[in-house]
Amino acid sequence: MRRTISITVLSALAGLAQAQDTNNFDCSNFLQFGADINQTRTAFAQSPETMAWNWFVCLNQPSTAQSSNLVWEMMKPSDQVYLPNGAPPGAYDSSAPLPAAVVTQAKAQGMDLSRSFHNINATQQVDGLILQMGGAVPDAQQGHPVRFQLLMGKDTFDYIVQKQVYNVNGQAALANDLNFPPTAWELKAAWLWIGTDTTYRQTLVNDGYYIAQAYYQQDDGTYKVGYVALSGLHVVNKLNADWVWTTFENINNSKYTVTNAAPPAPMTNTTGPTPAAKPVNASFQANNRNLSKYELIGVEFQPITQVLANSQLESAFQNTSSCLACHGTAAYSNDKGYFNFALNHGGGIVYPTTPLPPSAFDGYKKLDFVWSLKRAQWQR
């Protein structure tokens, strides 16, 4: 009897075949896409999901043989670029000193001052809502927010400094649209706060979370210092003109984060992993033990109608979330300010899932998909 195989199965087998070789990617100079960017583009076209995972693996390697910091942890945090007074930022490789109160608490807790301390002051998502921790988190963490952090690569930083758009003054003075170099990178991380709870910390270690050191300033000016767990990570670069948008999250996030429904329900991802991502996830998870509880949700790189979200970073509007389409609206007007990508629809608002036409940006200077520039302040 003749045996038939569905198109879905054939697609999965093709994806698995492309993902099988997961250990031969050269991480040296990967942020510059190796010696030939066109070779990277060709490999990406063959399997975007495989390349996304290769980048994720490289980013999560130690920054040096002697360092306990990961490659991506050494990128420049946006709070050290868009300064409160709009002043020029310090050099890319120079880290801002930790507040004295943070150092004091870190020493008292026996933390490693040679490791990165992530400043995770941000709590609001793009739509202004806050994702809460819940479910299996300790009582002391119930209802507390998931926290966020944005970082950029050196070529992203250098271009921002060159164009002097680290403050609104520079953006207002733009004569033309921005055009970042192909080797520009940005990352956005979501963190579960642990604090000093060693039992909870070990639970998250057992569930495959990457644990880091962090702090944030409270409303009264004092600082909280402790440990955090990485629940989600956007990885974005400009390999293509419309950029490449990839997003990862921990498979156990539904245990620790909840929806804003009443009563709250476990937070899940409604947009993926995509069918193309699933076989690649299985292959890389099997070959990278330290990352085995993280999964690629999907990849965006074409200006088409597409929905993709990270449950930790775009939880409340997953079904109308498109990385490429939303970031494609990054623009500034001296008369209107920053472009508003929240679109009126049926008495409510939605977010674009298809790139808007050029006519929507008459009178604006395009910021080349980089919405982090909205964090810039006026130089006074």
Confidence (pLDDT) at 356: 96
- What pLDDT tens digit does each residue of the chain (380 aa) get? 333 333 333 333 344 434 444 568 999 999 999 999 999 999 999 999 999 999 999 999 999 988 999 999 999 999 999 999 999 999 999 999 999 999 999 999 999 999 999 999 999 887 778 999 999 999 999 999 999 999 999 999 999 999 999 999 999 999 999 999 999 999 999 999 999 999 999 999 999 999 999 999 999 999 999 999 999 999 999 999 999 999 999 999 999 999 999 999 999 999 999 999 999 999 999 999 999 999 999 999 999 999 999 999 999 889 889 999 999 999 999 999 999 988 877 777 888 999 999 999 999 999 999 999 999 999 98
Q: Which amino acid is at 16?
A: L
Dihedral sign (CA 13, 31, 246, 119): positive
For helices 7-19 and 277-287, angle between their N-to-C axes, nearest 10 degrees: 30
Confidence (pLDDT) at 23: 62
How is residue 217 written in tokens?
């300033």
288, 266 contact by CB (below 8 A): no
Backbone angles phi and psi of 124, in degrees to 5: -85, 140
Confidence (pLDDT) at 151: 98
145, 132 contact by CB (below 8 A): yes
Confidence (pLDDT) at 11: 38
Q: What are the extents of the domains in the chain?
A: 30-375
Backbone angles phi and psi of 264, in degrees to 5: -60, 145
Question: For 73-116, what is each residue's pLDDT tens digit?
Answer: 999 999 999 999 999 999 999 999 999 999 999 999 999 999 99
- Neighbour-count burial for 334-355, b at 16+ CB within 10 Å, e otherwise: eeeebbebbeeeeeeeebbbeb
231, 257 contact by CB (below 8 A): yes
**How far is the C-alpha of 261 from the C-alpha of 64, rounded, in Å?**
44
Tally the C-alpha atoms within 13 A of residue 364's C-alpha that lie toward its C-beta: 19
351, 321 contact by CB (below 8 A): yes
224, 215 contact by CB (below 8 A): yes
DSSP letters spanning 140-176: GGTTPBPEEEEEE-HHHHHHHHHTT-SBHHHHHT-SS
Question: For 138-186, what is each residue's pLDDT tens digit?
Answer: 999 999 999 999 999 999 999 999 999 999 999 999 999 999 999 999 9
How is residue 261 written in tokens?
């429904």
Residue whose C-alpha is closest to residue 213's, from 106, 104, 80, 63: 106
163, 172 contact by CB (below 8 A): no
**How far is the C-alpha of 74 from the C-alpha of 93, rounded, in Å?**
8
Contacts 24+ apart (CB under 8 A), 57-62: 57/22, 57/25, 57/27, 57/284, 57/288, 57/291, 58/25, 58/27, 58/30, 59/187, 59/235, 60/210, 60/290, 60/291, 61/27
